[in-house]
Structure 1
């Protein structure tokens, strides 16, 4: 959500940010509605003052036995005028709120220009890509040949974009999630949280998933939502709170099931596990102060990079351009893992600083010092990592010519000492 006072102070800058995302200007309309609302409220206050005065005058006349009919008629007319003004104020507020709720966050000035992912800027690359003496396979070819990745049965049970993992591959996915949680809690200072996978409208709205992304989420018949990411319950856990500034930053992590309808992804990544309706992800969320959020963004991204480095997966960090930066983000880094089976870089983590965009929507604040006025917190979120996509990266980077998969050393304690799947 945006601060209407900031927008009113510099509408041209607001529209310039929207233009960077390829959106039409709206500041003039919002400012006009706001001015109309403020004028209506001023007139309403004047009429409220007059109505109170009328009540006193009528009371005086009645006590004196004088005729008050004319003043009473004025009072009736005044009440009708006030009701019309109140309705106008409510309508203007509703229109402004609806428009603001569908407008993305303002971009950091350092976000590069560009319409889509082709304009994203590579920040750095880590790791050497493995040179194979055979043609590397894609993960679904490996998994199906092992008899441990079953899309057919999953489709029979649930339809397209689901997978059923068996045996060692199922354990490997579990191992990845546990490894990530252990790393983030033991070394990176995050507190593990077990979150609900069903949340209400307020939690989704506060974390900018509603109304913009309603068609990309699953809703239950009783009006709750299956979470698209643990970012939603983790971030919304501080909604409506006034936190003690001395306790910030709050760093939370969770391994959860995530659910997305992928409504806008028809025809993309149809084969394999890259784009599923249900998947596991380890999420990192930070709640911090405006002064420290940029440093926290760098720190969070490094935490995600560390997971890939410990696993030995080559990756690159990308600074997203204006047209590819997500709705709620002011600035985003994507980490892309190298997938030799696809011969391509694919996103495996996205770390974003939303600044006070979510905080305003859910009224999450902190008090810098005792006695000082509350200030909106800054919130950040990042994948640390998407577990299914990490499984894909491990399978493709650690595959062998015979179709077996070597297990990275850091995961072997989670696999009961197993060193290889298949072969």
Structure 2
């Protein structure tokens, strides 16, 4: 396996080449702040930034280095998406709920570009488009039906490619056509996060990495936190730890943490990269447990991932699994080595939707189900607005029932069975839509 890795191989995110998590400060936090934010990802940094700009004293704490979690480990895809499709939400609730949900997802998507522009953060923000590669003919037909339903309700455009024309979107014969979403986007997540951290610190946020919160005690007077660097009191606390949530009890019982895996190739010939991803779009496949691909925004490399929640032990096992994903889609990369491989933790929920809300003096935004970049930035500001008395507008994700299941303690022993269920469901979806898949479709590029 080592021969398939570069000599300077790193078991670390590619994004850390341009934006490594900063070294932790050596001093201890003060004994009291107006607000303490636990978790330094997009949600936590956005909340801390807006609270500090609102005149509050804020401590931002993280058990690891600031930004070392999922916010500097994800793929940097930006879209109006979550695991439940427009049709799934409409069928489970009604079309009005689906419209409201996807309108808010679209607003969160737009928020990212507005935030990067307004704060002057150079993070390669681009509306590059997305190609959803169908893993079965029936998936292509289902995508067409679901996206048509959303277009009729919200006006969001899309185009369907049949297999004969999919090379306009991806240099692979593995798929069965798919759907183009022309206005989806991408960023360099490390640079976006670093820009937000810099602005938060400039606004007065005291950011402490490698400061674990061991216990949280709430009372009528405020919140007392026992940390590895001493005791801190605050009026209110923001919990923004998502897949890294460690505190037992109510929150952990509602989150399903799981590992995600990614890799980056060595530098590629630009002509080969143009063959793999001709239009520079981000690419995901149509399975529930997706494989995904994109160009690195700052180098001629392919970034990709998948195998979510698989039990992979050690960096060489992860590298071997990532290489298998790469070659399944792009066998022409047989001689290409990997330069970076990494993992990180995400979090799902039992209703497969994100949640933001308040429980006593604890404000939370958790369970992003792969929508954490856009919704994290939005929810962080939403929490800050609520604390500052600037009551935000309504949100379909705010204050709704946050389900768990009996006897669950936060350790997802069932994750393997859940992934097998998703594969079974994907196969059933393909079979149900197979007849529709063989009707002629218009070619689009």
Q: TM-score, normalised by structure 2?
A: 0.24
Larger Rg belongs to: 1
Q: TM-score, normalised by structure 1?
A: 0.24
- Looking at secondary structure, tell me which structure has more helix per residue: 1
